[in-house]
A and B are shown apart, each in its own frame.
Chain A
Amino acid sequence: MRDLLELVVESGLKKGASFCEVRYFEERGSSVSVENGVAKILSSGILRGIGVRVIANKCWGFASTNVVTRESAERALIDAIGCARAITSHAGEEAKIVEVDPSVDFIKHDVKINPEDVGPEEKVKKALELERAAREFSDRVKDAFVVYRDVLTRVIVCNSFGTFVEEITPRTHISCRVIAREGDNMQEGYERVGCVAGYELIEGISVENFSLRAAKRAVSLLSAKPPPRGTYTVVVDPRVGGLFIHEAIGHNSEGDHVFSGGSIISDKLGQKIASDLVTIIDDPTIVGYGHFIYDHEGVRARPHIIIRDGVLVGFLHSLESAAKLGSKPEGSARAQSHHYPPIVRMSNTYLAPGDMTLEEILEDINAGIYLSGSQYGYVESEKGQFTCKVEEAWLIERGELTEHLRDVAISGLTLEALKNISAVGKDLRIEMPGMCGKAGQSMFVDAGAPHFRIDGIVVGGRR
C-alpha cells in the first residue's frame, strides 16, 4: 500500500500539483439490532477506497474511488488535478496551506477485547440481556430497542511533505431506546455509550447504568409537564453542557468557518468573549469517542484551548485554515471517508471544571430550569444563534428541583450566553458520544462539561 500511495503522490507533483495528498480509508463494522426481545437484524459492511486531494493552479481539486488499484488511484489523481484546473477561471480565494514537517508513524489503538474476535452470538446475547431489562421494567414500556455497533477504521495519509501516517482505530457503541405509553401519551428514553475501545466497553455495562436508565426516563416522562415559556436562568447537566459547548462555541471556533466569514467570533481573537469562569478545550488526545492521534492531514493532534478564563485564545485548524489565519495546525482536520476531503472538526470538546457543587449552583436560583440529557442541537454559526434539544428538565424553585418537565429546548445567542455563564461545577464528565454533521460529512465526536449555570436563556415550551 505504501508504494502505491507514494507513487501517486510523486506522480501528482510531476503532473504539476504543488501539493498532493493520497488517503487510504477502510472501515469494517458489524451491528446487532434487537427489538422487543428479538435480535431482528445482524449486519456487517466494509467501506474501502482512496481519496486524492491536490492543489494545482492555486486551486483545490479532489477525487475519490472505491477501487483500490494503481490504475484507479492514478485515474483519481488525474481527476483531482482536472477538478482544480476546472475551477481556475472561477476560483475565489487562492488555495494555500501551511508547510509542516513530515510525520512518519504507525498507530494501532490497543483494546483488551477485539470486537472482531467476539462471535455474533455473544453480541446478540448481551444486547438481548440489556434490552430485556428495559422491556420488563414496567408494563408501561411499549417498545425497547438495543443497537450494538463496532467499527474498525484504518486511515493512511501520504502527502508531498513526506508524511506517511497509518492509524487503526476501533470504536464500540451501544444504544438503548425505550418508548413508554399511557393512553395517547408516548414518551422516549435513550441511553448510549461509545468510545475508542474494544468489546470490553460492552462487557463493563450493567443494566442499571444503561438500559434501566432509559426505561425509567421514558416512564417518568409520561407524567412530566411541558415547560413554561420565556427567558430563564438554566442549569445544565454534563450532557446538555457538552451539547451547548459543541454547538454554541465549538462550531464557531472551527478555522474554516473563521476564515470564510461563517463564525461570529472571527474578529475576536484575544478578546474577552465569555465570563471569567469559562475555559473551553477541544482535546483529541483524551480517550473518548472523538479520540485520535493523527488527523487526516497527517498532523499530530494536540489539545486546543479555545477560551481561557473568558478570553478567546485559539481556533481549531486544518493546514489551510492555519495558513489563512496565520496559525499552526495542531491536528483538527478529519474526513468521513475516502469520498470526502478533510475539513476542520471538533474532537472531544469540553468546559473545564470550576469549584462548585450542584447544590451550590442551584441554591440562589429562585425560578429557573434544570436541563438534563441531550438529544440534538444545531447552530447558525454565522449569526451565533444556537438551539439545543434536551431529554428532560425540572423546574428550579428556591434552589430545589421540583416539577418534572418534558419536551424542552433552549435557544440563545452565543456571545450573550457565554458571558452569562455565572457558575461552574467541579463534576466534569465527557459522555456525549455521537456523530457531528458538517458540510455533508458525519464524524465521531464527544463532548462534556461539569454542571453549570447560564442566565437569560430562552426556553421553548407549551405553557
Chain B
Amino acid sequence: MAEVDIITPVEKASRLLSRLDIDFYDVFASFSRNISVTILGRGVREAYSRVDVGIGVRVFKNKGMGVAFSQSLDDSDVETTVNRAVSFASIAQPDPYFKGLPAPSRAPEIPGLCDSEIVHLTLEDASRISREMIDASEEIRRGAMYFGGFSAVYGKGHLVTSTGVDVGVEKTSISAYLQPVYREGDDVGSSYEFDYSVSLRDIDPRWIGRKAAEKAIEQLGSKRVESGSLPLILLPESSSSLFSSLLVALSGEAAVKGRTFASNILGRQIGPENLEIVDDGTIPGAIASSTYDGEGVPKRPLKVVEKGKVLSFLHNSYSAGIMNVESTGHAIRGGYSGQVGAGPSNIRVKPGDEALDEIISETRRGILVASASFSPNMVSGEFSTTIDEGFLIEGGEKKHPVKNLMAGGHILDLFRNIETISKEGRTFGRGHFFPAVKIRDVKLSGK
C-alpha cells in the first residue's frame, strides 16, 4: 500500500491558520496501516487490512477551544476542517486555566521505535504467526475452542503548532493474543496469554500458545470460597492494573483539579519504603516510548514514587500551567480526533527482594490473583472487582481455582497494605515492568 502524504495537508492547514486572528493552534495528521488476523472457534478466521488517515485541528481564541477533524486530506476538506475549528473557537468560552501551547524543544531521537520487519510484514506472515500460537496450544492439549488474534501496525504522524513545534513520529507495534476454552461437561477451563511490542522479534507465538493452554487447563475445577479477609498475591498481569491506575490518577487535568483519588497524595507516604515507581518514555525500543509527547515536548524519565512517597504528577502543558510548573512530557494525543490528555508511558516498578515461590509458600491462606482489574472509581478510589482468574492458597500451596469471588476496598488501602514485592516480574513491550505484590487483609465476598 502506497503511503499517504500527511505533511502537505498539515502545512496547508497551518498556512491557513497562520493568517487568521487566533491565539494558538495545532494541527496533527496521521497515517496508519494495520494488518490483523482474527482467531475464532477452531482456528484462523479472517484477515484484515486497514488504512486510516485523518487530520485534526485545535484552535484557541480568547482561551476558548474549537476542535475539528476529518478523515479526508483533500484540500477542500482540510479547509472546511480549519474553518469549523476556527468558528467553534470563537463560540467557546474562555477557559481561565489555559495558558498556551508549549514552545519547541529539540531532543535526541529515541532509537528502535520502528521495526522494518513489521513495516514489511505480509498477511501470510500474520496468518502463520497466528497458526503457530494455535499449534503450540494444541501440543499442550487438543480440542480447545479459541479466541484471539494478531495485529501489526505501522503508523506515522506529523504535528505543527503556532508556537513553532514541527515534529514527525513514526512507530510500529505488534500484539498477539490467544484464549483457549476447554470444556469438560459443564466445567469450563479458560484463560489467555498475550504479548505486545514494537519489534516482531520480541514476540514468541509458541510461548503465547503454550502458556495460554497451560493456564486454561489450570482453571478447570474452579470452586467458590467463603467471604473473609485474606491476603492477595497479585501476579504481574493484575498488579499492572493497580500501578497503572495510580499513575493515571496522578495525570493531567483531573489530578491537578482535585478530581481523582490521587489529587491530594503528593508528598504523602502511600506504600512501603521499598515501593519505587518510575515513568520512562525514553527507553529505546519500548512500547510506550517516543521522542516527543503529544504536544511536541521531549519525553524524559520521571520518578513518581520513591521510598513509598509520591513525588510528582504527570503533566501535559495544560495541567502544568495550572500548577505553574513545566510540562513533564506526558501529553497523550488521541490520534487525529483532536483530543489531548495526559497519562503514563512506560511504567517501571522496582522489584523487591523475595522470590514469588517463597511469597506463596509463606502464605497460610490467601488468594493468588492471575487476572483481575484493580482499577477503582477514579474519583473516590473505591473498587469492587471480580477475581476473574485466581487460586486459593492453603498451607503455602495452590489448592484450586476460584470462581464468583469479589474483592472490595479502597485502592490506597491496597498500596498501604503492600506486604511484599517480588524480585521477579514481567516486562511488557520492552518498557513496562511489574513485579508481583502481596497485599494483606483484602476484603473478599464469596459464598
Complex-state Cα separation, A64 to B91, whole angstroms? 36
Interface pair A460/B385, CB less than 8 Å apart: yes
Interface pair A87/B410, CB less than 8 Å apart: no
Complex-state Cα separation, A80 to B123, whole angstroms? 11
Chain B residue at minimum C-beta to C-beta distance from A52? B49
Selected from A63, A90, A187, A226, the residue in CB contact (under 8 A) with B131 is A90
B residues in contact with A93, CB < 8 Å: 41-43, 45
A residues in contact with B443, CB < 8 Å: 229, 461-463
Complex-state Cα separation, A387 to B375, whole angstroms? 14
Contacts A40-B93, A383-B188 given; does A188 touch B377 at CB 8 Å: yes
Chain B residue at minimum C-beta to C-beta distance from A410? B406
Interface pair B190/A90, CB less than 8 Å apart: no
Type the 1/0 row for B23-58, where 1 means its CB is closer than 8 Å to any CB of A: 000000000000001111111111111111110000
Interface pair A92/B403, CB less than 8 Å apart: no
B269 within 8 A of A: no
Complex-state Cα separation, A380 to B77, whole angstroms? 43
Interface pair B145/A407, CB less than 8 Å apart: no
A residues in contact with B259, CB < 8 Å: 142-143, 179, 186
B307 within 8 A of A: no
Selected from A42, A66, A383, the residue in CB contact (under 8 A) with B72 is A66
Interface pair A407/B408, CB less than 8 Å apart: yes
B244 within 8 A of A: no
Chain A residue at minimum C-beta to C-beta distance from B406? A460
Selected from B40, B42, B91, B128, the residue in CB contact (under 8 A) with A121 is B91
B residues in contact with A412, CB < 8 Å: 404
Q: B409 CB to closest chain A CB, in angstroms?
A: 5
Q: A363 CB to closest chain B CB, in angstroms?
A: 26
Of B5-13, B60-68, B276-284, B354-362, the segment with at least 4 beta carbons within 8 Å of chain A is B60-68
Q: B380 CB to closest chain A CB, in angstroms?
A: 6
Q: B254 CB to closest chain A CB, in angstroms?
A: 10
B residues in contact with A95, CB < 8 Å: 45-46
B141 within 8 A of A: no
Complex-state Cα separation, A387 to B371, whole angstroms? 14
Complex-state Cα separation, A39 to B66, whole angstroms? 10
Chain A residue at minimum C-beta to C-beta distance from B68? A44
Interface pair B72/A460, CB less than 8 Å apart: no
Interface residues of B in 307-340 (CB under 8 A from A): 337-338
Of A197-205, A235-243, A256-264, the segment with at least 4 beta carbons within 8 Å of chain B is A256-264
Interface pair A66/B181, CB less than 8 Å apart: no
Contacts A63-B50, A64-B51, A179-B259 given; does A380 touch B92 at CB 8 Å: no
Interface pair B39/A45, CB less than 8 Å apart: no
A residues in contact with B188, CB < 8 Å: 264, 382-384
Selected from A45, A341, A458, the residue in CB contact (under 8 A) with B337 is A45
Contacts A42-B91, A49-B71, A87-B127 given; does A260 touch B147 at CB 8 Å: yes
B residues in contact with A76, CB < 8 Å: 49
Interface pair B46/A62, CB less than 8 Å apart: yes
A residues in contact with B258, CB < 8 Å: 142, 181
Interface residues of B in 133-163 (CB under 8 A from A): 134, 144-147
Chain B residue at minimum C-beta to C-beta distance from A186? B379
Interface residues of A in 61-79 (CB under 8 A from B): 61-67, 75-76, 79
Chain A residue at minimum C-beta to C-beta distance from B408? A460
A48 within 8 A of B: yes
B202 within 8 A of A: no
Complex-state Cα separation, A226 to B50, whole angstroms? 47
Selected from B72, B130, B406, the residue in CB contact (under 8 A) with A409 is B406
Complex-state Cα separation, A264 to B95, whole angstroms? 51
Complex-state Cα separation, A462 to B407, whole angstroms? 8
Complex-state Cα separation, A156 to B169, whole angstroms? 35
Selected from A39, A66, A188, A231, the residue in CB contact (under 8 A) with B54 is A66
Type the 1/0 row for B184-196, where 1 means its CB is closer than 8 Å to any CB of A: 0000101000000
Interface pair B68/A90, CB less than 8 Å apart: no
Chain B residue at minimum C-beta to C-beta distance from A53? B46
Complex-state Cα separation, A397 to B84, whole angstroms? 57
Interface pair B377/A261, CB less than 8 Å apart: no
Bin the interface of chain B by size: 35 or more
A residues in contact with B257, CB < 8 Å: 143
Interface residues of A in 256-293 (CB under 8 A from B): 256, 259-262, 264
B residues in contact with A327, CB < 8 Å: none
A residues in contact with B384, CB < 8 Å: 389, 407-409, 460-461
Complex-state Cα separation, A160 to B190, whole angstroms? 38
Chain A residue at minimum C-beta to C-beta distance from B179? A382
A207 within 8 A of B: no
**Residue with the highest number of chain A CB atoms closer than 10 Å, among B47, B68, B380, B382:** B47
B234 within 8 A of A: no
Interface pair A187/B380, CB less than 8 Å apart: yes
Complex-state Cα separation, A66 to B55, whole angstroms? 12
A234 within 8 A of B: no
Complex-state Cα separation, A142 to B130, whole angstroms? 50
Selected from B1, B41, B43, B88, the residue in CB contact (under 8 A) with A90 is B43
B94 within 8 A of A: yes
Chain A residue at minimum C-beta to C-beta distance from B42? A92
Interface pair B94/A38, CB less than 8 Å apart: yes
B227 within 8 A of A: yes
Contacts A44-B88, A260-B147, A411-B404 given; does A187 touch B444 at CB 8 Å: no
Complex-state Cα separation, A260 to B147, whole angstroms? 8
Instruction: State the 10 A-B residue pairs at the shortest beta-carbon distance, nearest first.
Output: A92-B43, A261-B145, A460-B406, A86-B123, A83-B47, A43-B67, A42-B88, A460-B384, A260-B41, A409-B384
A–B pairs, 12, beta carbons within 8 Å: A62-B47, A75-B1, A82-B123, A86-B123, A90-B128, A95-B45, A95-B46, A407-B383, A409-B384, A458-B445, A460-B406, A460-B407
Given contacts A382-B147, A382-B190, 14 further A-B contacts (CB under 8 A): A41-B65, A44-B67, A45-B68, A45-B337, A46-B69, A60-B45, A64-B51, A84-B47, A179-B259, A339-B52, A385-B404, A407-B377, A407-B380, A409-B386
Interface residues of A, Cβ cutoff 8 Å to B: 38-49, 59-67, 75-76, 79-80, 82-84, 86-87, 89-93, 95, 120-121, 124, 142-143, 179, 181, 184-188, 226, 229-231, 256, 259-262, 264, 339, 341, 380, 382-385, 387, 389, 406-409, 411-413, 439, 458-463
Interface residues of B, Cβ cutoff 8 Å to A: 1, 37-54, 64-72, 77, 84, 87-89, 91-96, 122-124, 126-128, 130-131, 134, 144-147, 179, 181, 183, 188, 190, 227, 257-259, 261, 264, 337-338, 377, 379-380, 382-386, 388, 403-410, 443-447
